[in-house]
Structure 1
Amino acid sequence: MIEDGNEVEDIIIIGLHLKSQQKYVHNHMAAVATLLGFLSDSALREASGLPEVRKEKDVVILGDLNDSAHKRHGFKYLFDYLEGVDYVHLHPDSGTYPLTRVGGSQIDHIFVSSGLEDIINGDSFKVHYKAGISNSKYRKDYSDHYPVTVNLVFD
């Protein structure tokens, strides 16, 4: 992208909502593999109006991935796959990964392409709980998931 006569980098942000239930881990992996294949295909990117691969590699993948970082059968499937292709799973600097779903699951996540983790503002990863509201009321009035945020800082 050109801004004030200078070429600046963009970030591609992709929101995902993968099929619910963790038993569909192979569907999740197929969906993410298809997405990553799309992002690496110059013709598909051009047809979609996305910048060329060589000009823009910074990607954020976030949302309800319906998968956790817990190992099943010795693997973290989706996590191992994304980390194997140089994506970084964002999480709190300290402590355990918080519950992101009303009733207690850790299925909402933020992954960034390698190198982008440097623009995270310290320990800014947060799950926003609504204090004083029962789970059933929160689920009825808002969502079955809590908002997950992280602050990105650009120079």
Structure 2
Amino acid sequence: LALNRIMLKSLTKLMKKPYQVVWVTGTYYYDEIQKKLADFNYGPSIKVLAYVEDMPALLPKMTCVVSRSGATSIAEFTALGVPAILIPSPNVTHNHQMKNALDLEKAGAATVIAEDDLNPNNFISSIDHILLDQKYADEMSSASKKLGVPDASDQVIKVMEEIAKK
């Protein structure tokens, strides 16, 4: 909900940017968002989707991802080296999403914005910094790849096979 709200507040400025935005609302919020956008011509640079069926096909094409900071999402971003703007959910046990996000930020792979601090200015400037500064984006991508484990499933299978042999 917080990500959808910030997108609604930022849409007028984002549609004027020289990059494309793929906004995935989530199926629960999609109809509500579509109603709010019904009379708004946001142009071809904004693509609004309810859900992405084939995220493995889309994610490698992303220059930057704005997301919550759950462990599975982070594993996907870092495996591919995709720079991220992370907005941790404050509604999780032991604040683990903030801890995940801060680890990535410390490594140079992400920018973190606490949900309480989120506003159109810091949201858009964080996106601009990555998408309009190629050197910075490349540095973040490299840092992200260093954290990633792209062969994680192979490693798990290897461990399971070793356990099965015992």
TM-score relative to the length of structure 1: 0.27
Higher helix share: 2
Calculate the TM-score normalised by the size of structure 2.
Answer: 0.26
